[in-house]
Chains A and B, each alone.
Chain A
């Protein structure tokens, strides 16, 4: 038995298990396929999530029929049994009056371990452990409320792109994997979350003035047919789903980084799944942190 373990060790430290278990009953995806997916996406994922304390949504029995049964749980603190080689970063939580040991994923073994833990969804904050209180990403959550669709969100995202580019910023975009789009802008971490949040909110307000489908205030988010430019996540240890994270949808959709040329009417989140995304040749978020902008607010 010990010998077998060593053999496996040559490639990964993770003791993979239950690989034939079905995790997406509709898309017929097994846990093994999920692990394989994350392995394939590792080179594109690691540079973005490095040194960020992660929050996980684990689905120990897969997504089953997600609407009726509670099948997942949030996890911030590294669970009991986390191997020693998994890097952790403590942040004091005033609400639970103790340190929470967040997981840091800077290597492929940790990512494989997360997939093996059934952490289908992985979420990251907008700051790194270099300075956890100063964001290095601005985050615009472009969230359409039905009957508004991803096509409407695409229109708003393009408008947002033009506005940000006029300020000489370099925005990047990805699908949320559900119905919305995420737009981020890399910046040199010089300001507090409060200042950044105020800035992102202001951009939202000026978008709303130009296009009446856009709402910039939280109280208006549930107005049907509107697209909310959500600025509120720009706060300490608030998160977004990481690029290439799986989502708990029937089709096993992926939060997929896009080229701006792909953002257009008819954009369909179910075109980007565990099956199709690894075949994409493009890497739209490549070198994202080499385009940091010195924001002056």
Chain B
């Protein structure tokens, strides 16, 4: 019931257009597989990383800066075809791989998200959540609708594995605002167990009176969570600054390497002369 309320308030906030625009293109299509049952779906990205982006420019002439690969020994710029991947086996000692060697062992997407079991959605700690994707029905709406309602009623999530591009992820299938969504999870090896910090083990139990007071403060300040209460004030200030600057001067990028083209112009002049004679 409580969850229902939360959903209602979230839906309301959506009408105020605080959410990100829905993407047009799916990034994966395949099916959710539970035993012999298949639910064909398309996967859409649901997470943006907006924020502010700046480009680096060369201050004296305002032209874009580019990154190059330098060999640290020869101290010169090297082309991509001279780059291999090195795995550091011990300090400053590498074994190397060609891209095709690594490509050969990458997992292949078999276009299936196989659910091995259903778990209580709230039993999976959010620290493992990586990226969330929206699922839409592909061909059959019935199978999708059935899966959605069943998960909503049980409050369960399907756990399994999926290959996106060339990486395999553990993932959860769950519901969100009346849709099926898939959240990829982090592997255990990527998440720190805080008990490994020594200090955490050395904590002492607080006095009862202090604890009671702290609990009271918490319950006084309790309320429903609303993401729209949080504004990215840095982005807003940057946008304001941008608007001001646009009115003033802007730096124009000259995409015209005059010097390089000079040699070509000699050849071009010569050819144009020939073409004139051909006529």
Contact = CB atoms under 8 A, between A and B. Distances in A.
Given A1-B252, A68-B98, A39 B268 contact: yes
Interface string A13-40: 0011101101001000000100110011
Contacts of A65: 81
A17 B255 contact: yes
Interface in B88-143: 98-100, 103
Contacts of B268: 11-12, 39, 108, 112
A43 B256 contact: no
Nearest to B80: A64
A8 interface: yes
A4 interface: yes
Interface in B226-278: 252, 254-258, 260-261, 263-265, 267-272, 274-275, 278
Contacts of A42: 271, 275
B275 to A, nearest CB: 6
The majority secondary structure among interface residues of chain B is helix
A22 B261 contact: no
A39 to B, nearest CB: 5
B265 to A, nearest CB: 6
Interface residues of A, number: 28
B223 interface: no
B252 to A, nearest CB: 6
A5 interface: yes
A32 to B, nearest CB: 6
A69 interface: yes
A239 B270 CA distance: 31
A182 B81 CA distance: 32
Interface in B141-157: none
A32 B256 CA distance: 13
Given A25-B81, A32-B263, A5 B256 contact: yes
A270 B152 CA distance: 67
Nearest to B265: A11
B35 interface: no
A17 B254 CA distance: 11
B267 A39 contact: yes
B99 A36 contact: no
A43 B275 contact: yes
B79 interface: yes
A32 B99 contact: no
Interface of B: 79-81, 98-100, 103, 252, 254-258, 260-261, 263-265, 267-272, 274-275, 278
14 contacts: A8-B258, A17-B257, A22-B79, A25-B81, A32-B263, A35-B264, A40-B271, A42-B271, A43-B278, A46-B275, A61-B80, A64-B81, A68-B103, A108-B271
